[in-house]
């Protein structure tokens, strides 16, 4: 007989989360609260992130297993190396456009207006960052996420032209290797990211890695 798990509600005036190990098998840890900067930073430094659908309360996750991409493991193909020549890559110059594009390219998206405003605020404070791919001066691909120490917590990416998002991810891996980044938290396992070199890790290994990397003083880009 299955046992019903009660998911705790966060207090609106406190930025304290339950222990990530208390998440359900699917990774759901808590609900409620808000998306203020203090709460988001408290979450990311503990390996927790918000993910919820329209009309749902804010849901907070710590999935097990986790998907990690170590920059040196990125699988660079000859075709992608050739494809990069079509694009101009820029770093953290059009965050607002990237997050909006990540929202608009999908019919069903968790990137609500509330989420956009929250991550734009993180961007102003220097935590949320983007990589952009341009073709003929038009933004055609990119990604955004949150930097915590030497970790880049990937949130979403988009592509309007073949390979544009892959080039953005490759560029992220390159600059992380150059500037002392340790790994990219890709959150949920997907076949696409695994094909690009990401690997599955259990929650304990991920949290141990995060604990050693989150205090590092690194300027990725």
- The reply to whether 219 falls in a domain is no
- The reply to whether 3 falls in a domain is no
* Among candidate residues 216, 86, 70, 94, the one with its CA nearest the CA of residue 158: 94
Length of the chain as a residue count: 221
pTM of the entire predicted model: 0.94
Task: Dump pLDDT digits (tens) for 164-213.
Answer: 999 999 999 999 999 999 999 999 999 999 999 999 999 999 999 999 99
Separation CA 77–CA 82 (nearest Å): 9
Q: Within the chain, where are the H helices? A: 37-44, 78-83, 95-104, 113-124, 164-179, 191-195, 203-213
Residues 113 and 135 in one domain: yes
Residues 134 and 191 in one domain: yes
Identify the pLDDT of residue 108.
82
Residues 58 and 81 in one domain: no
Residues 89 and 145 in one domain: yes
- The reply to whether 218 falls in a domain is no
Identify the pLDDT of residue 11.
79
| Spacing of C-alpha 15 from chain mean position | 20
The C-alpha R_g of the chain, in whole angstroms, comes to: 17
Residues 71 and 23 in one domain: no
Residues 57 and 140 in one domain: no
Residues 107 and 198 in one domain: yes
For residues 41 and 151, the answer to whether their CB atoms sit within 8 Å is no
For residues 116 and 100, the answer to whether their CB atoms sit within 8 Å is yes
Across the beta sheet with 183-187, the strand order is 88-91, 128-135, 138-148, 151-159, 183-187, 66-69, 199-201
Identify the pLDDT of residue 2.
46
Question: Sign of the CA dihedral 118, 120, 121, 126?
Answer: positive
- Domain boundary, last residue among 40, 63, 86: 63
Q: Which CATH number belongs to the domain containing residue 25 in this structure?
A: 3.30.70.3550
Residues of the chain short of pLDDT 70, as ranges, are 1-5
* 172 secondary structure, DSSP code: H
Judged by DSSP in three states, 89 sits in strand
Identify the pLDDT of residue 4.
59
- The reply to whether 156 falls in a domain is yes
Residues 206 and 129 in one domain: yes
Q: Residue 199: give the domain boundaries.
A: 67-213
Q: Which helix (H) or strand (E) holds 155?
A: strand 151-159
Asked if the peptide bond before residue 214 counts as cis, ω within 30 degrees of 0, the response is no
């Amino acid at each position: 007989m299955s046992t019903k798990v009660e998911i705790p509600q966060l207090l609106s005036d406190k930025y304290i989360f339950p222990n990530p190990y208390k998440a359900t098998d699917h990774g759901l840890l808590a609900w409620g609260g808000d998306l203020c900067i203090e709460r988001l930073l408290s979450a990311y430094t503990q390996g927790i992130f918000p993910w919820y659908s329209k009309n749902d309360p804010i849901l907070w996750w710590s999935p097990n297993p986790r998907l990690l991409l170590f920059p040196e493991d990125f699988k660079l193909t000859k075709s992608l190396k050739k494809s990069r020549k079509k694009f101009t890559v820029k770093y953290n110059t059009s965050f607002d456009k990237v997050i909006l594009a990540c929202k608009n390219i999908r019919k069903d998206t968790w990137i609500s207006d509330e989420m956009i405003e929250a991550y734009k605020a993180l961007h102003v404070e220097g935590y949320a960052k983007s990589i952009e791919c341009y073709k003929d001066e038009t933004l055609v691909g990119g990604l955004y996420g949150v930097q915590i120490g030497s970790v880049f917590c990937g949130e979403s990416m988009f592509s309007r032209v073949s390979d544009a998002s892959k080039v953005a991810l490759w560029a992220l891996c390159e600059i992380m290797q150059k500037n002392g980044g340790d790994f990219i938290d890709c959150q949920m396992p997907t076949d696409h990211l695994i094909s690009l070199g990401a690997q599955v890790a259990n929650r304990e290994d991920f949290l141990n890695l995060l604990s050693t990397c989150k205090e590092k003083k690194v300027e990725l880009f």
